[in-house]
Amino acid sequence: MENYKEYENFCINISKIAGKYVLENFEGKFEIYSKDKRNNLVTEIDLNTQKIIVQNINKTYSNHAIVGEEDKLKSIKDSEYIWVIDPIDGTTNFVNGIPNFAISIALLKDLEPIAGSIWIPWPNNEKSLIFSASKNNGSNSNGIKLNLIEKLNESLDEGAASSYSSFSSINGNKDRNIKPWNKVIKGEKRVIGSVAYEMALLAKGVIKFGLFGPASIWDFGAGLLIIKEAGGTIHNLDKDYNFISEFTSFKKLIYKSNDSLSEVIYDWSGQFLIGNKKIMNLEDSEKFV
């Protein structure tokens, strides 16, 4: 049996190198470029960080394919193994000086996430946190096992005070009157501006549930695995926010076409309702379809 833990450790190690570089350049001077549309920024730091990650992957797993957010990175290799990476998720925060951004790295095998990591800045001694997971091995944050099920029980035990403090997370531009959201909304809302950062907080049990996307595979790859391995529930939603299924793999969601697979993956976007089963109170799909 393949050692998925090896890939997870590899993700953690590149995260450390890439994270150090990104944090050193936070609040520094760098080139900012505008991409195709409004609010879609890229900086030389995003580009250099992607290079660092790609070089490391190529060195260690030279036969794997890579799809990344920046520079329209789509591998020409044909491989069962595809890395999906976002060197800085939350570039607008990074550019303007809000310390809420993330580095997301994930490995898909036949379109199922099998290993991944999210790095985020944090005001502790290491100045960052690294969340990681590999399939069937659980999730960790700086070496500490994450457990969303336990986290929920803790919450309920503490009684009134903490049940008032469940956060929801949603895209700031999104209309809140959408079907599944109305069913689950409670607690205070936060709009942070980085899907991967918010998914890391969700895996930690800090944000109790959220509606994420539309976003790309590099925003979701690591986060979905980390949350799933921590005991969270992930609902695929179609573009009208109808429930499709519980998430296990991108295979169901990414339709084959004549284009190359990495082309299709690059262009895909999706949305998910993510959280803790009990808090979302969505035991079956009927409840919000």
Is residue 167 a contact point for a second copy (CB under 8 A)?
yes
* DSSP notation for 39-99: T-EEEHHHHHHHHHHHHHHHHH-TTSEEEETGGGEE-----SEEEEEEEEE-HHHHHHT-S
If the CB atoms of residues 37 and 59 are measured against a second copy, the closer one turns out to be 37
Q: Site residues for a second copy, window 21-40 (CB under 8 A)?
A: 23, 26, 32-34, 38-39
Rule CB under 8 A: is residue 135 a binding residue for a second copy? no
Task: By CB under 8 A, tell whether 269 contacts a second copy.
Answer: no
- Whole-angstrom Cα distance, residue 267 to residue 111? 14
Q: Residues 6 or more apart from 102 whose CB is under 8 A from it?
A: 86, 88, 89, 90, 118, 119, 120, 194, 196, 197, 200
Write out the binding residues for a second copy, residues 141-160 only, by CB under 8 A: 158, 160
Contact present, 179 and 140 (Cβ < 8 Å): no
Judged by CB under 8 A, the stretch of 44-52, 61-69, 205-213, 263-271 that binds a second copy is 205-213
Measure the CA dihedral 223/225/231/235, to 10°: 80
Write down how long the chain is: 289
Nearer to a second copy, 206 or 254 (CB): 206
Nearest to 30 by CA among 42, 15, 45: 45
| Site residues (CB under 8 A) for a second copy, limited to 87-126 | 92, 95-99, 121-125
- Pairing label, strands 112-121, 207-216: unpaired
Supply the minimum distance, in Å, between the C-beta of residue 274 and a second copy.
17
Q: For a second copy, give the closer residue by CB, 155 or 262.
A: 155
Q: Work out the angle at residue 194's Cα, subtended by the Cα atoms of residues 41 and 146, and round it to the nearest 5 degrees.
A: 150
Q: Which residues pair with 89 in a beta bridge?
A: 102
Choose between 90 and 113: whose C-beta lies nearer to a second copy.
Answer: 90
Question: Which range, of 53-61, 161-169, 229-237, 278-286, touches a second copy by CB under 8 A?
Answer: 161-169
* Shorter beta-carbon distance to a second copy: residue 40 or 63: 40
Enumerate residues 6+ apart whose C-beta is below 8 A from 48. Answer: 21
Question: Is 192 near a second copy (CB under 8 A)?
Answer: yes
Q: How far is the CB of 117 from a second copy (least distance, A)?
A: 17
Q: How far is the CB of 186 from a second copy (least distance, A)?
A: 10
Interaction of residue 210 with a second copy, rule CB under 8 A: no
Q: Which of 74, 135, 204, 228 binds a second copy (CB under 8 A)?
A: 204
What is the distance, to the nearest Å, from the Cα of residue 217 to the centroid of all Cα atoms in its chain?
8
Q: How far is the CB of 11 from a second copy (least distance, A)?
A: 20
Cα–Cα distance between 100 and 21 in angstroms, integer?
16
# residues contacting a second copy (CB under 8 A):
42
Q: What does the alpha-carbon distance between residue 137 and residue 102 come to, in Å, rounded to a whole number? A: 22
State which of residues 44, 55, 110, 127 lies at the interface with a second copy (CB under 8 A): 127
Residues of this chain that bind a second copy (CB under 8 A): 23, 26, 32-34, 38-39, 41, 92, 95-99, 121-125, 127-128, 158, 160-162, 164-165, 167, 172-173, 187-193, 201, 204-207
